[in-house]
């Protein structure tokens, strides 16, 4: 009778290894290469799926009962409120983690020509995360949600040619109402998660096909088994993040304002925080440029980064090495620091100044600012090249400058806008 070792159970282990190469380069599993941001994103997505399903047991997607069903989640002895807290904070945290993950991929040279498709899929996943948060924001049917969605759908109306149609499609009619809630609920629990699952599976498969994380080609290649070296690290990051999230959700409730009242707008009426950068731009630029042209240009630039010849950073090395960290951090800080004075200059000086082009807003508040920004970025690039900075490093500095300014616009919308969206000091 033949004897031999019994086969190992392949259920969970086999599934995990289907998402990873069986062996990975030893230098790619260090925490400081990726900071576990990809694993954090996947963990948060799974938490959102699980808590979202649980909330379906308590939530009612109708305008006359949605808000009350949220209140009842916090009834004494119920865990539903805790589950909602987890879901809310996980969704907001996922936006931040996904942005940082995309930035990490770029800054470590992982957006090269062999991974271009995965870069584009990552951008699509980020857009779906934003859309998931946007559609979920309305579901409590409170004042914050109602007016944030109203503001955003009004902003969508500024898109040239299709703006009115797009706003009506998002609202399901002329204004935010029962049809909007039903539509957002269906998209939030059905369409968006399905698309994200499909793209995530493809995303993981492409990472495995590429051999795992990008690595420094100058280091000697030593491969180690993904199980347990990589899996144990991913589990530690995922469990650590989950623990911190649960603790935060236990201490801080998700916000809930009074029931939505279409006849009484809060002051100030703000969009969700991840769209406040757009709302801030709308205060300074012509609507077509603020809501359509500039966001599309930035999205196109982001998508095309791996396709621009000679701009990829060295693989597996943060910010190109040497003083790259310092240069990237300084560029981000300058962009962040410049945004606030420019906002104050426009609010306090330029808006009240007379000029020959003020009679044509799309020039004075559109073409002129856009041309000025483009010229400033081009001047910075030429100065960097003249100082013999490499092309990849120069482009990286421009990217971090733009990212810093976006952070500044968002921070201004969150903390510096008071009643009537006037500038105010944070308390």
- Total domains in the chain come to 2
Q: Is residue 11 part of a domain?
A: no
- The span from the first CA to the last CA of the chain, in angstroms, equals 81
Q: Is residue 7 part of a domain?
A: no
Q: Is residue 145 part of a domain?
A: yes
163-171 helix and 143-156 helix, angle to the nearest 10 degrees: 150
Among 33, 25, 20, CA closest to 223: 25
How, if at all, do strands 223-225 and 23-25 pair? antiparallel
pLDDT at 1 over 50: no
> For the segment 81-99, what is each residue's pLDDT rounded down to a tens digit?
999 999 999 999 999 999 9
Say yes or no: 113 and 239 in one domain: yes
pLDDT at 12 over 60: no
Say yes or no: 180 and 314 in one domain: no
- Residues whose CB falls within 8 Å of the CB of residue 101, separated by 6 or more in sequence, listed in order: 37, 38, 40, 41, 122
Beta-strand ranges (E) seen in 335-392 are none
State the Cα–Cα distance between residues 276 and 282, nearest whole angstrom.
10
Structure tokens of 276? 């406040």
Exposed, middle or buried: residue 425 (CB in 10 Å: 0-12, 13-18, 19+)?
Answer: exposed
pLDDT score at 249: 97
Q: Which of 259, 275, 306 is the C-terminal boundary of a domain?
A: 259
Q: Which of 259, 291, 317 is the C-terminal boundary of a domain?
A: 259
- Residue 220 has what DSSP assignment? P
Q: Is residue 8 part of a domain?
A: no
Say yes or no: 287 and 231 in one domain: no
At 197, which CATH number? 1.20.810.10
Read off the pTM: 0.92
Contact present, 257 and 70 (Cβ < 8 Å): no
Say yes or no: 170 and 32 in one domain: yes
pLDDT at 200 over 80: yes
> For the segment 34-46, what is each residue's pLDDT rounded down to a tens digit?
999 999 999 999 9
Q: Is residue 138 part of a domain?
A: yes
Torsion, Cα of 263, 264, 269, 271 (10° steps): -50
Say yes or no: 111 and 214 in one domain: yes
pLDDT at 364 over 90: no
pLDDT at 5 over 50: no
Spell out the long-range contacts of 195-204 with Cβ–Cβ below 8 A and sequence spacing 24 or more: 195/128, 196/45, 196/125, 196/128, 196/129, 196/132, 199/121, 199/124, 199/125, 199/128, 200/42, 200/45, 200/125, 202/121, 203/118, 203/121, 203/122, 203/125, 204/19
Q: Which of 215, 242, 259 is the C-terminal boundary of a domain?
A: 259
Identify the domain containing residue 188 by its residue range.
17-259
State the Cα–Cα distance between residues 134 and 144, nearest whole angstrom.
12
State the Cα–Cα distance between residues 80 and 72, nearest whole angstrom.
8
The model's confidence at residue 357, banded by pLDDT at 50, 70 and 90, is very low
Count of residues in the chain: 427
State the Cα–Cα distance between residues 274 and 132, nearest whole angstrom.
12
- Residue 187 has what DSSP assignment? I
């Amino acid at each position: 009778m033949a004897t031999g070792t019994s086969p190992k159970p392949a259920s969970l282990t086999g599934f995990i290894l289907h998402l990873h190469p069986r062996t990975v380069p030893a230098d790619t599993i260090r925490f400081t290469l990726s900071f576990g941001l990809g694993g954090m994103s996947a963990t948060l997505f799974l938490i959102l799926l699980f808590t979202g399903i649980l909330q379906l047991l308590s939530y009612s997607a109708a305008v006359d009962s949605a808000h009350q069903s949220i209140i009842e989640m916090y009834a004494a002895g119920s865990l539903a409120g805790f589950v909602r807290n987890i879901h809310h904070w996980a969704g907001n945290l996922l936006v931040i983690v996904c942005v940082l993950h995309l930035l990490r991929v770029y800054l470590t040279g992982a957006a090269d020509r062999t991974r271009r498709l995965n870069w584009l899929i990552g951008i699509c996943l980020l857009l779906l995360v934003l859309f998931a948060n946007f559609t979920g924001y309305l579901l409590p049917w409170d004042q914050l949600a109602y007016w944030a969605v109203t503001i955003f759908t009004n902003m969508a109306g500024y898109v040239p040619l299709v703006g009115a149609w797009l706003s009506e499609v998002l609202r399901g009619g002329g204004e935010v109402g029962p049809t909007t809630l039903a539509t957002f609920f269906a998209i939030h629990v059905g369409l968006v998660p399905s698309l994200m699952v499909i793209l995530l599976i493809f995303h993981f498969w492409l990472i495995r096909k590429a051999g795992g994380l990008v690595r420094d080609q100058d280091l000697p290649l030593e491969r180690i088994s993904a199980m347990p070296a990589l899996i144990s690290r991913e589990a530690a990051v995922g469990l650590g993040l989950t623990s911190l999230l649960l603790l935060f959700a236990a201490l801080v409730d998700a916000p809930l304002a009074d029931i939505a009242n279409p006849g009484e707008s809060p002051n100030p009426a703000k969009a969700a925080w991840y769209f406040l950068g757009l709302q801030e731009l709308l205060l300074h630029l012509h609507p077509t440029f603020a809501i359509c042209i500039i966001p599309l240009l930035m999205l196109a630039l982001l998508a095309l980064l791996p396709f621009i010849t000679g701009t990829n950073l060295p693989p597996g090395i943060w910010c190109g090495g040497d003083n790259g960290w310092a240069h990237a951090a300084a560029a981000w800080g300058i962009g962040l620091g410049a945004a606030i004075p420019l906002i104050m200059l426009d609010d306090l000086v330029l808006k009240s100044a007379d000029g020959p082009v003020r009679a044509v807003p799309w020039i004075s508040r559109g073409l002129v600012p856009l041309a000025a920004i483009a010229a400033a970025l081009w001047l910075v690039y030429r100065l960097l090249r003249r100082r013999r900075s490499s092309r990849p490093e120069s482009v990286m500095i421009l990217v971090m400058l733009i990212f810093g300014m976006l952070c500044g616009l968002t921070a201004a919308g969150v903390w510096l806008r008071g009643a009537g969206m006037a500038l105010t000091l944070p308390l």
